[in-house]
Structures are given as C-alpha cells and as structure tokens.
Amino acid sequence: MSNDSISELQEKLKQNPNDIHLIEEYAIALSDIGENQEALKNFIYLKKVSPDNPQVYYNIGIILEKLGKMNEAVLSYEKALSIAPSDTDIMYNLANVYIKLERYDEAEALLLKVIDIDKNDENCFFHLGEIYTRKKNFENSIVYLKKALDIKPDDIVAKFYIAYAYKQVGNSSLAIKYYEDVISQNQDYSWAYYNLASIYLEQNKDEQAILFLEKTIKTNPSDIKAIKMLVKLLYKHKKFVAAEKILRQAIHDMPEEADVYYFLAKVYQELKNRINYVKYLKLTLNKQLTFSGDVNSLEEEIKEAEKK
C-alpha cells in the first residue's frame, strides 16, 4: 500500500477515530509498508476493544512473526485458534511458526487438519514434506512432496526437497533427475549443483563432480565446502595449477578463511615452491581462529618447512 493510501486512512480516522474496521485496515496497511511496531500498537488497542475477535490475534501473530518474536507469535495464533478452531489460515500460520521453532509434531498435526479441510492445499503438502525431511522420515517426505508437485508442478523448492529425499533413500537416479529439473528452472541454484557433485563423487565419477563443483562456485563463490571438495579432487588428479587459481580467487572472496590459505600452501608444496609453501602456512597461522585443523600441528609443519 502506498503512503498516499496511508494518508487517506489517517484522514478517515481523524473523522471516525473509533471505527474498528478503519483501525484494522490502517494497522494492516502499516504492516504492509514495514511499520510493524506502529501496526502492533493499533492491533493491541483492537484486542482490548474486541477481545473475542480471532482476526485481531491472527494479525498480531503475523506482525510478531515479522518482528522475529516467534514464541509470542505462537501464543497469539493459539489464542486465535482457540476462538476459531476451524480457521485454516490460522492453523497454517501457526504450523509454520512451529516449524521455525522445530516443534515438528505440533506442526504436522495442524497441517494434517488443514488437508482434511482443503485437499488441494499445495503449501500444506510441501510443509509436511519439509517436516518429514527434517525428521528424517524420507519415505513420508517423498509422499507429500509428490502431492505438492501434483498440484504445483513448478514448485522449485519442493523439487529440491524431493531430490534430497530420494538421495537419502538410495535412489540417486531420481535425485539427479529432480536436481536437474531445479537447475533447468533456475541456473543459479548453487545447492542443486553442489548436491549433484556430491552424488557423482560417491559414484566415483570425478569429472562430473568437478564440473558441478565448478558451477557451484560460479554461482556461489563463498561456498567453502564446495571449494574444499573441488580442490581435493583437483589435488587428487594432480591438477595443481587449476587448484591454485581457484584458491587465489577464494582468498580474494574470503580473506579471513584460514583453510583456503592452508590448501594453497599444500598446493605450493606439491609444486615444489618452498617460498610460497612457507608463506601461506604462516598466513594460515595468522588467521588461526578460522582454521579447522590442529594449530599445534600447523606450527610444527611451519618449523619443518623452514628447515628445508
């Protein structure tokens, strides 16, 4: 809603300051433009004058969610639901907050109630698939994600989740298919590239793994897990110059990431470049707070390298 519309509502409220419907419309408009604290004040007023109105508690829950106050949002949604126990919008929003709070059983129960009322609610099927994924019940996850995709075939996030679930139950071919579908919809979906690389790596298909790791890093240059995996593969195949190029770019993108310096040091060790080997070992030590290895072992390695 535009600021002009807000101004119009303010003028109407000056003329009718006790109009509950106008106050509610104004509060929603404020929330729509990000003025959540001010919107909350208006809804708290409405709660006092309409204590049995479920929509007031529902809208308070929405605003508290926006403000990141999830536990308070739960209380408001639960109050709304106690007044209107068949309201699917309230159930759905409350279930989403339960998911954020990792209260998966409660979220599951609510979403199943919504589906009993509306058997074509794609969002509920998706979120049930999400819940079962998080609970590592991948068989059920696949069942509900399939139903979500039957209703909305282009749901890219559902495709990503179902690909992951298929991978977890050992069906790599279907996992690959769905990850490829994700990429066909969004060529910048870095996690799809990364997960494809992981599958091909498990299958000892190093060339394909390298290809998809390179695509991962192209779309997300700060993906340190992908960088490490790719450099290890290049190291394995003695492609040290290629590894050096990737690590130098990684240092440019993530100058405080100690492991990148250490990997580059090991590349220079293989390239028989002692000066750079020692240099990057010392740079690793300087950034030891982010180093994933053992600092004492690193110090010993530096001493040994300096002797040679």
- Round the CA-based radius of gyration of the chain to a whole number and report it: 27
Separation of alpha carbons 112 and 108, rounded Å: 6
- CA of residue 219 relative to chain centroid, distance: 16
Q: How far apart are CA 144 and CA 147, in angstroms?
A: 5
pLDDT string in tens for the chain (308-residue length)? 445 577 777 778 777 777 778 888 878 888 888 888 988 988 888 898 889 999 999 999 999 999 999 999 999 999 999 999 999 999 999 999 999 999 999 999 999 999 999 999 999 999 999 999 999 999 999 999 999 999 999 999 999 999 999 999 999 999 999 999 999 999 999 999 999 999 999 999 999 999 999 999 999 999 999 999 999 999 999 999 999 999 999 999 999 999 999 999 999 999 999 999 999 999 999 999 999 999 999 999 999 999 86
Q: Do the domains spanning 187-237 and 239-308 agree at the CATH topology level?
A: yes
The domain 239-308: what is its CATH number?
1.25.40.10
Q: In whole angstroms, what is the distance from residue 88 CA to residue 100 CA?
A: 18
Q: Are 247 and 263 in contact (CB under 8 A)?
A: yes
Going from N- to C-terminal start, the domains of the chain cover 187-237, 239-308
Instruction: Name the CATH architecture for the domain at 187-237.
Output: Alpha Horseshoe (1.25)
